[in-house]
Chain A
Amino acid sequence: MSELGVGRPTKRRAGAAVGGLPVADSRPVLDGDAVLGSRCTVCRYPTTQQGLPWCPVCYEATEPDRFARTGKVWSSTVVAIPVGTRRPPFGLAYLDLDDGPRVLVHLAEPAVLEPGARLEITGTDDGDLVATRMEQ
């Protein structure tokens, strides 16, 4: 009998990163000097989600918007285990963009940063947003 679970599809969509089939990419998109997303036309709620039926806060219409690449760390960590094709250690942070949503970013340097630290999204790595600490 072959080893259980090996070489068989599983219920979880693993995505191409761990050898599964590719899936639609839901990550925020960096477009030059801005992170793409949408904003409510009435309450101005910003989000990186695309194709929303309405504003999830006030139910009014949303329109595409562009958000600053800079913001403040909400929290950060360094992951010490491999995840998909990512090899440890790698740093992750929730970053509150200056005029926009909270986004998950990879840190250019794996280190725990204090909340409030200023970061700038400087690029992407295989579709992940990558942020770098800004000079004080």
Chain B
Amino acid sequence: MSADITTTSPETAPQPSPGPAPVDKRVPRGHKRLLTRRDRVTLAFMAGVPTVLHVALVWVTAIASIFLAFTSWDGIGFDSIKWVGLDNFKQLFSDNPQFWPAVEHNIIWFVVLILIPTPMGLFLAVQLDKKIRFSRVYQTAYFLPVVVSLAVTGFVWQLVYNPDTGLINSLIGANKPGHYIDWIGDPHLNLWAVLVAASWRHTGYMMILYLAGLKGVDPSLREASSLDGANEWQTFKNVIFPTLRPTNTVVLVVTIIEALRAFDLVFVFNKGAQGTELLSILITNNIIGESSRIGYGSAIAVVLLVISLAVIIPYLIATFRKERRA
């Protein structure tokens, strides 16, 4: 891979320069160093401290969690770590009644986000891009849900959905015995109820991304297509949308990440009870608390990590390939 780069990119072209770089020509070599001692100490700190922190907090812990996935540990004393091989994964795939629903819900989460709020966000962005009056006001209104923390969003929507005193049931009178709609508890309903809240937020997010993308569309393209007699829909479909390709990639990645890290909204809503299980919540439930099942929880975390990598690695490869070509 690095060989490819050196042959194709002009900056690092492999012509072995006969002499030192131009800067060095002016500076006599050997006696004076480019950096003072102080500079070097500063640099060492600037590079060293983040590296140590990064390695300790990201890599060591990540690798520790992969290691722990093959053990059984209650978190009390390191000597109670027992190697159990693949047992955790076996149990997870066969005995845990919540695991497969959780995977399914994470997938549903992604599909819904990509099918509903994403086109909605694009639609809103296109409308706002027409420089209509009060465009800023609308923009702010739609973006507001993104600014609010998801935990708060969950709390607010929980009030809306509360089966006894919530807004919806009070309005439609579905809080009486006999005809009762349990938005939070019914396993056939609650995931969709949460997804409405998630979509409500995601629409604004997508709108901002697309709005930024639309600002980058060359106005002469629009002009040209209108000169050619294309109507608004044709212009959008054949001219504008194709130029949004890079934005679409960002949108796809962002949406996948949103689906995989979905947590806070559901945790506040009903703690991932029947019908709303998510991988992230299973991890938390197993790891946090007294006499925790750290090995088992880590095994779920590893599954989530593998899924994330399976999505992200192809994307990174594609991006790097594109860069190399550019």
- Binding between chains A and B: no
